[in-house]
Structure 1
């Protein structure tokens, strides 16, 4: 697709709609049209196209995962979970599906299941930085401080310029009482444009002043 997709959106949509009409059994045509509808904010149509892709090919994992992402964004956790579990039914090693389930369990406040899902994602794809970063936040919430620091460190190894990664590591280090190191990463997160919680910054400054 065009690098200037945002500017070309109407053209791309028109071309893909034509392709879907000409090739009504093309999974990729419906899948891509669904993704472009997502970018255009045409969510109901995106759902219809991704549903159609899955009807054509009930092994279309990418369509299932993207459809799950739409439902998650709408706050429909049941449907989001259903789609990601369906993807795992096709391929039980899908790291992205496990990572998405981690987010769903986290939203449901079932943190142990969230941890298990993120760890399964990492087991299947150790380079999935987002899974490491999300795992960090849940480990911190559970008070697993050393594990949180290790997970955050790994996430930053994979994405050294991630604002979220630096923020997560700062928080994990804070709870591990490594306050000087925490400040380094909090400052870096702010430098990279992350809105670090002012209350966290204040608490960190108090600890450094003691």
Structure 2
């Protein structure tokens, strides 16, 4: 009983993020009972929280030596291999966990990401379909499934499932007049407020629908984060532009920008493809002098949102481009 109370203290310290105390208690317990599953698992969890992936793996492997039928141990090992991008090892660990507990929907979900990163989209889809059979209303799983379907070019099912994404689900809570969410019906002569969502790149990609809507007689107002206002001032068909901090006069309907492919029933052949669709407004002056005659203008984007799941694969430092700056006949821009 006393040892169990000590572990409860360790667990309380873990939940309070007092990791050093939790580690000390667990190690004291393991000195007396080296095979304690809860102590080894908690030490693995602390190492994982601290980003000590190899330390976590060592604890989980030790746990599994003592407890080879512990499904959670295999799942935690799989999750840690995933962080190290050791995808084959991660797949094997998750498969072992699921052989012991088929009903663990979170493990199927994590395994789907492993297969996605391995490029095996069919297996990723199968995992997510299993998740949704078990938990039909899991929006994150459905919106993740939508992204993989879109990678396959399955626009009809992909964009339909993408309506389950959290930002779409929360629209009624985050924007007034939930009864005005546009369902795709005719808006000729009416005002449609489009709400930019997610990253800057997403907004830049999906404003391509604005000229098309305006050409059909829709009065299009666009609401976006302040850093995008200057860029969107020259957007054809945008009747009015609002910051997320501005009040908006009465309107007839509103929609999220990234719902437009679904609402417009976009196919690969009907993507609005007018290039360019963004123009520098006459009211804007370039922040940098124009390039010298004969120089190509090249824009650099070297960093994305650090909270993105795969940001480590897509962001780098500006210094990584330093050797390019001496190339002749090229003018680089941020």
| Aligned residue in 1 for 2:144 | 168
Query: Does the alignment pair 1:82 with 2:62?
Result: no
Q: Which runs of 5+ in 2 are unaligned?
A: 171-196, 207-257, 272-334
Secondary structure in 2 matching 1:188:
coil
Choose between structure 1 and 2: higher helix proportion: 1
| Aligned residue in 1 for 2:105 | 129
In 2, the alpha carbon distance for the partners of 1:84 and 1:70 equals: 11
Output one character per residue of 1:39-89: Cα deviation in whole Å (capped at 9) or x when no partner: 112111111122223223222212211210110110111110011011101
Q: Which runs of 5+ in 1 are unaligned?
A: 1-22
Query: Does the alignment pair 1:139 with 2:115?
Result: yes
Query: Does the alignment pair 1:94 with 2:52?
Result: no
Match of 1:57 among 18, 26, 33: 33
Q: What's the offset of the Cα at 1:100?
A: 1.3
Q: Radius of gyration: which is bigger? A: 2
Checking the alignment, whether the CA contact within 8 Å between 1:132 and 1:151 is kept in structure 2 is yes
In 1, the alpha carbon distance for the partners of 2:200 and 2:139 equals: 16
Q: What's the offset of the Cα at 1:163?
A: 3.7
Q: Residues 168 and 93 of structure 1: is their aligned pair in 2 closer, same or farther, counting only changes over 3 Å?
A: farther
| Aligned residue in 2 for 1:38 | 14
CA RMSD of aligned residues (A): 2.6
Secondary structure in 1 matching 2:165:
helix
Choose between structure 1 and 2: higher strand proportion: 2
Query: Does the alignment pair 1:184 with 2:180?
Result: no
In 1, the alpha carbon distance for the partners of 2:143 and 2:59 equals: 31
In 1, the alpha carbon distance for the partners of 2:63 and 2:152 equals: 37
Secondary structure in 2 matching 1:109:
coil
TM-score by length of 1: 0.77
